[in-house]
């Protein structure tokens, strides 16, 4: 499931992060991937041990926790500490699939990567190129969002970032282990949750809404892993 999550961060939060990141020390992004990934990855990242990475990552996680659309779509169980990257001067990341099991540092436990997330911190007009391309059974989907908005997609998806030929593309990215492992099941739960909310807002029959809510939670109970 590919889904746009708008307004995760306010413009003031984005501006504060950009100010901190513009003065940060960056490292070669190839240090965080294996040999295969290093062959197609050309970008910069905040070092894994960076205190700034942890500080800004906590802000991202807290903002997502307050976002109802994100929670309904992802059903997060464990979230890897967000990382931050920078693409400029032709930097790109060729087609790849994210690792199935990941850890983000000495204090992070391993998680299964079910959902990948990119949170944009540069406005689209600040740079040329830098589109996130996600490939699935319906073709290739091009993503370039306003600063403060996020995109979520299955970690099993083949994806890439096109070369940035002007300016700099700055973003946060991370992975989530969902309570519901299967992407199709998560989609069905999101569709049912959305329908329940819409019916409630329209003043539909409360007994029917209650029945549908019970079905939602019983399906979640059947599929959830904790």
Verify that 72 and 129 share a domain, yes or no: yes
In whole angstroms, what is the distance from residue 141 CA to residue 133 CA?
5
With vertex at residue 77, the alpha carbon angle to CA 75 and CA 79, rounded to the nearest 5 degrees, is 105
Quote the pLDDT of residue 107: 54
Q: What is the CATH number of the domain that holds 188?
A: 4.10.860.20
What does the pLDDT read at residue 179?
A: 98
Same domain? 136 vs 154: yes
Q: In this structure, are 111 and 219 located in the same domain?
A: no
User: So what's the pLDDT on residue 67?
Assistant: 96
Helix/strand/coil for 153: strand
Mind listing the pLDDT tens digit of every residue in the chain (226 residues)? 999 999 999 999 999 999 999 999 999 988 877 777 778 999 999 999 999 999 999 999 999 999 999 999 999 999 999 999 999 999 999 999 999 998 865 556 789 999 999 999 999 999 999 999 999 888 999 999 999 999 999 999 999 999 999 999 999 999 999 999 999 999 999 999 999 999 999 999 999 999 999 999 999 999 999 8
| Beta strand residue intervals within the chain, DSSP E | 3-5, 27-28, 41-42, 44-45, 76-79, 83-88, 92-96, 101-102, 111-112, 115-120, 128-129, 132-136, 139-143, 150-154, 158-161, 164-166, 168-178
Mark whether 218 and 111 lie in a shared domain. no
Q: Same domain for 172 and 187?
A: no
**Same structural domain, 92 and 15:** yes
Contact 179, 189 (CB under 8 A): no
Say yes or no: 91 and 203 in one domain: no
CATH of the domain at 14: 2.60.120.620
Looking at the fold, whether 118 and 172 belong to one and the same domain comes out as: yes
Asked if 49 and 107 touch (Cβ cutoff 8 Å), the reply is: no
**Are 12 and 115 contained in the same domain?**
yes
Look at residue 74 in the predicted model and tell me its pLDDT.
98
**The pLDDT value given to residue 21:** 97
Q: Are residues 153 and 219 in the same domain?
A: no
How much is the pLDDT for 108? Answer: 61
Measure the CA–CA gap between 158 and 32, rounded to whole angstroms: 18
Rounded CA-CA distance 33/38 in Å is 6
What span, in angstroms and rounded, lies between the C-alpha atoms of 161 and 165?
12
Are 53 and 40 within one domain? yes
SS3 string, 78-136, reads EECCCEEEEEECCCEEEEECCCCEECCCCCCCCEECCEEEEEECCCHHHCEECCEEEEE
The bridge status of strand 111-112 relative to strand 92-96 is unpaired
Q: Identify the CA nearest to 84 among candidates 112, 109, 48.
A: 48
Same domain, 207 and 111: no
Report the distance separating Cα 52 and Cα 20, nearest Å.
8
Domain count, the chain: 2
Residue 219: which domain range? 183-223
Tell me the pTM.
Answer: 0.93
């Amino acid at each position: 499931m590919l889904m746009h999550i708008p307004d995760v961060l306010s413009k003031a939060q984005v501006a504060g992060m950009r100010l901190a990141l513009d003065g940060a020390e960056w490292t070669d992004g190839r240090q965080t991937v294996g040999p295969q990934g290093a062959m197609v990855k050309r970008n910069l990242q905040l070092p894994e041990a960076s205190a700034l990475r942890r500080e800004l990552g906590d802000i991202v996680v807290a903002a997502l926790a307050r976002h109802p659309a994100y929670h309904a779509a992802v059903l997060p169980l464990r979230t890897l500490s967000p990382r931050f990257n920078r693409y400029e001067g032709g930097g790109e990341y060729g087609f790849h699939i994210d690792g199935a099991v990941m850890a983000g540092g000495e204090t992070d436990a391993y998680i299964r990567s079910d959902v990948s997330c990119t949170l944009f911190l540069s406005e689209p007009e600040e740079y040329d190129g830098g589109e996130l391309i996600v490939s699935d059974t319906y073709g290739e989907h091009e993503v370039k969002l306003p600063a403060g908005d996020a995109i979520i997609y299955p970690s099993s998806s083949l994806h890439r970032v096109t070369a940035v030929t002007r300016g700099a593309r700055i973003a946060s990215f991370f992975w989530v282990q969902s309570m519901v492992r299967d992407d199709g099941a998560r989609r069905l739960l999101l569709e049912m949750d959305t329908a329940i909310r819409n019916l409630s807002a329209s003043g539909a029959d409360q007994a029917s809404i209650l029945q549908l809510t019970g079905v939602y939670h019983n399906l979640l109970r059947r599929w959830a892993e904790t």
